Structure 1
């Protein structure tokens, strides 16, 4: 799985960090998503899918 985030779309809701804190973080200055692992371990796949599903801005895309 490869993750692509669109920081331009991000609305800084933090839902991705709540769902997958080992994969996503937020910038201190504005809360915009920061990708920590472009290709996370398989064990985090369910968390990453959840993060993409709950993103209100649809800023997270997954390539399986």
Structure 2
């Protein structure tokens, strides 16, 4: 931190506002292959959610309110 004192009307305190840049981890070789396999397995096992009951309830509410 330093202060400009030679021009009183421009005197301000300046603070360092830098943020350190962090490196991005990168997977290589076997770790990358294992990650991709695990991600694909998780994606294939992904469950779907049935919102049909909530959608029907919402439509009923909107019809009663004459919004749809």
Please give the range of the TM-score, normalised by the shorter of the 2 chains. Answer: under 0.3
- Structure whose CA Rg is larger: 2
Using the size of structure 2 for normalisation, the TM-score is 0.24
The structure whose residues are more often strand, as a share, is: 1
Using the size of structure 1 for normalisation, the TM-score is 0.25
